[in-house]
Amino acid sequence: MPRRGLILAALVLVLDQASKWWILLDVMAPPRMIEVTGFFNLVLVWNPGISFGLFGGGGGRWLLAGLAVAIAVALVVWMVRTVRPWLAVALGLVVGGALGNALDRLIHGRVVDFLDFHLAGFHWPAFNLADSAITVGVVVMLVDSLFEKRAAPNI
């Protein structure tokens, strides 16, 4: 089971980094906004905080990168020990996303966000594929825990 999660983590990491380099080198060479649809734009936002721009006060480059790597290592250990396929998938998504954003911090000092969804003047904070993978992974983990078969208590 952990193999599936490890492959997914690697895939998320590669896709996340490839999409960010594509945005940086090809799409946003001179920083600008590209309107894709009436509710979705490609933008370039440098995020010194965590997912969706939270805690963006700056100054935490090494702390946040180190914390993300430490959490990813702990989750990989959990993934290797699990026998539940959906938990392995969830952990793979979170690990890949955490490592993708940690790599950004180590290379750029901040995270590259570029997906901008908006509706009626409200813009959700810009995010990236790593943020999406982390969010989906946490949701899958919660759903998996709801349906996990628990051993009957010994009374």
Active site amino acids: 113, 131
What is the Cα–Cα distance from 78 to 145, expressed in whole angstroms?
Answer: 14
Residue 140 backbone dihedrals phi, psi, to 5 degrees: -60, -40
What is the Cα–Cα distance from 93 to 88, expressed in whole angstroms?
Answer: 9
